[in-house]
């Protein structure tokens, strides 16, 4: 990583996770990228080494960790398998929200997540609403000791892989953001229907739409208080966006490493490609931008560890890192020439995968609006 200043314990953790990921995950990454699911045995193996239980209660199989350490795990996993790296991102981020549920719900679900037996996902976007999280159309009506939910959530990462969703519904439409409430919804309940979305990349993540058709949800699945759901999801996004940035940096670094090796070995006009400035300059630019993105992400996680406000910095991570990764992997593909364009190499798949992260959890334009708001003040928002 260079220069950020990880502690000795964090450096040792990086070496351990890198060894695990390169030995047990990297060899099968190319084949898994074409699958429509994560093999359960792989998730359970990740759980065995503690990668799905960061910051969960110890009594449910969890372990405490600082946010920089979690970031190290995410980056190293992504260097080996971009798709699998999403598992600790969502298990860490979403289980923090699940801890707002009553003890009986936590006791049922958190141990299963920490053991790699199940996944949960996040549902905010809707067919008519993406970036405007306050414009939720999904409705939740209180009736006695339960809520009746109706609506559709779409573009849900792990939607087909998971067994439950943390979804947001309006309990008071007139209040907009202040009327959005968070719920934990097991898919086993009557009225929950899923359908896969055919994507150009990230196929194992199983992006989906989830329809809630008169779902009777017991009150125990309410997360926190009514009207506090919007704040909950925005808080989660601040952390998740940093991790998404590190995922992009990880897989782009692997691609750059491969391109450097290829450029040293492949010859043209009697000399290695690496001797041509047209190639070496691409490599130099890529290495510089990856270091910038990586340091931005770790600095933001360090701010989170110190309890400092980091909304602006999280948004910076989210718009910059996917853009950098797309450019770097594209250049690495070009360095490999026709080999890079072939499905025999993983570069074309990686490129399709990271393009999805330019959209996930808020586009670059939305991130820039957030940054501008934090720098200039809400009175200068463009809408």
**CATH 2.40.110.10 domain residues, the chain:** 121-226
> Could you please report the per-residue DSSP string of 240-299?
HHHHHHHHHHHHHHHHHHHHHHHHHH-EETTEEGGGSHHHHHHHHHHHHHHHHHHHHHHH
Structure tokens at 291: 């270091």
pLDDT value for 93: 85
Partner residues linked to 145 by β-bridges? none
Higher pLDDT, 316 or 6: 316
CA distances in angstroms from 35 to 201, 246, 365, listed in the order given: 11, 23, 31
Range name among 169-178, 203-212, 226-235 with the lowest pLDDT average: 226-235
Higher pLDDT, 160 or 93: 160
Mean pLDDT along residues 306-324? 96
- Compute the distance between CA of residue 125 and CA of residue 168 in angstroms, rounded to an integer: 9
Confidence of residue 292 (pLDDT cuts 50, 70, 90): very high
The class level of CATH for 231-380 reads mainly alpha
Buried b (16+ CB within 10 A) or exposed e, 295-321: ebbbbbbbbbeeeeebbbbbbbbbbbb
Confidence of residue 329 (pLDDT cuts 50, 70, 90): very high
pLDDT value for 1: 43
**CATH 1.20.140.10 domain residues, the chain:** 231-380
Instruction: Note the pLDDT tens digit of each residue in 271-289.
Output: 999 999 999 999 999 999 9
234: exposed, middle or buried (C-beta count within 10 Å: 0-12, 13-18, 19+)? middle
- Compute the distance between CA of residue 271 and CA of residue 111 in angstroms, rounded to an integer: 57
Percent of the chain at pLDDT > 90 equals 86
**CATH 1.10.540.10 domain residues, the chain:** 8-118
Instruction: Note the pLDDT tens digit of each residue in 7-60.
Output: 999 999 999 999 999 999 999 999 999 999 999 999 999 999 999 999 899 999
Query: Quick one: angle between helices 8-20 and 67-80, nearest 10?
Result: 30
Instruction: Note the pLDDT tens digit of each residue in 47-72.
Output: 999 999 998 999 999 999 999 999 99
Of 61, 122, 53, residue with least CA distance to 88: 53
Structure tokens at 277: 């400035």
* Residue matched to tokens 């309990």: 171
For 199, residues 6+ apart whose C-beta sits below 8 A from its C-beta are 207, 356
CA distances in angstroms from 94 to 183, 288, 289, 334, listed in the order given: 12, 33, 30, 38
- Compute the distance between CA of residue 300 and CA of residue 316 in angstroms, rounded to an integer: 9
CATH for the 121-226 domain, from 3.30.930.10, 3.40.50.300, 2.40.110.10, 3.30.70.20: 2.40.110.10
Instruction: Note the pLDDT tens digit of each residue in 214-237.
Output: 999 999 999 999 998 878 777 777
- Compute the distance between CA of residue 337 and CA of residue 289 in angstroms, rounded to an integer: 22
Confidence of residue 3 (pLDDT cuts 50, 70, 90): very low
CATH for the 8-118 domain, from 3.60.70.12, 1.10.540.10, 1.25.10.10, 3.40.190.10: 1.10.540.10
Confidence of residue 383 (pLDDT cuts 50, 70, 90): low
User: Other C-beta atoms within 10 Å of 14: how many?
Assistant: 17
């Amino acid at each position: 990583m260079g220069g950020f200043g990880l502690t000795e314990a964090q450096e040792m953790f990086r070496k351990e996770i890198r060894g695990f990921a390169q030995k047990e995950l990297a060899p099968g990454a190319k084949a898994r990228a074409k699958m429509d699911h994560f093999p359960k045995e792989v998730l359970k193996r990740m759980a065995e080494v503690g990668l799905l239980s960061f910051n969960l209660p110890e009594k449910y199989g969890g372990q405490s960790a600082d946010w920089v350490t979690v970031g190290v795990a995410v980056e190293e996993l992504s260097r080996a398998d971009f798709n699998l790296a999403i598992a600790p991102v969502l298990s860490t981020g979403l289980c923090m929200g699940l801890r707002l549920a009553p003890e009986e719900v936590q006791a049922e679900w958190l141990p299963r997540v920490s053991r790699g037996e199940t996944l949960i996902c996040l549902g905010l976007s809707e067919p008519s609403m993406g970036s405007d999280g306050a414009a939720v159309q999904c409705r939740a009506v209180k009736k006695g000791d339960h809520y009746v939910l109706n609506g559709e959530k779409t573009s849900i990462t792990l939607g087909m892989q998971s067994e439950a969703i943390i979804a947001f519904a309006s309990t008071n439409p007139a209040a907009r953001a202040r009327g959005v409430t968070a719920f934990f919804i097991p898919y086993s309940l009557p009225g929950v229907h899923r359908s896969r979305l055919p994507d150009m990349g990230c196929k194992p993540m199983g992006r989906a739409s989830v329809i809630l058709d008169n779902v009777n949800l017991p009150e125990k699945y309410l997360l926190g208080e009514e009207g506090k759901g919007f704040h909950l999801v925005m808080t989660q996004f601040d952390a998740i966006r940093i991790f998404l940035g590190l995922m992009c940096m990880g897989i782009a670094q692997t691609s750059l490493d491969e391109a450097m090796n290829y450029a040293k070995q492949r010859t043209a006009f009697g000399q290695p490609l690496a001797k041509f400035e047209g190639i070496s300059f691409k490599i130099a630019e890529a290495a510089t931008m990856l270091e910038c993105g990586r340091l931005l992400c770790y600095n933001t996680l360090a701010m989170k560890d110190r309890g400092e406000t980091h909304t602006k910095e999280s948004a910076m991570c989210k718009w910059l890192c996917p853009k950098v990764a797309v450019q770097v992997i594209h250049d690495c593909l070009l360095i490999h020439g026709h080999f890079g364009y072939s499905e025999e190499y993983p570069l074309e798949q990686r490129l399709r995968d990271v393009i999805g992260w330019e959209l996930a959890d808020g586009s670059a334009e939305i991130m820039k609006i957030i940054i501008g708001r934090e720098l200039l003040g809400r009175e200068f928002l463009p809408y």
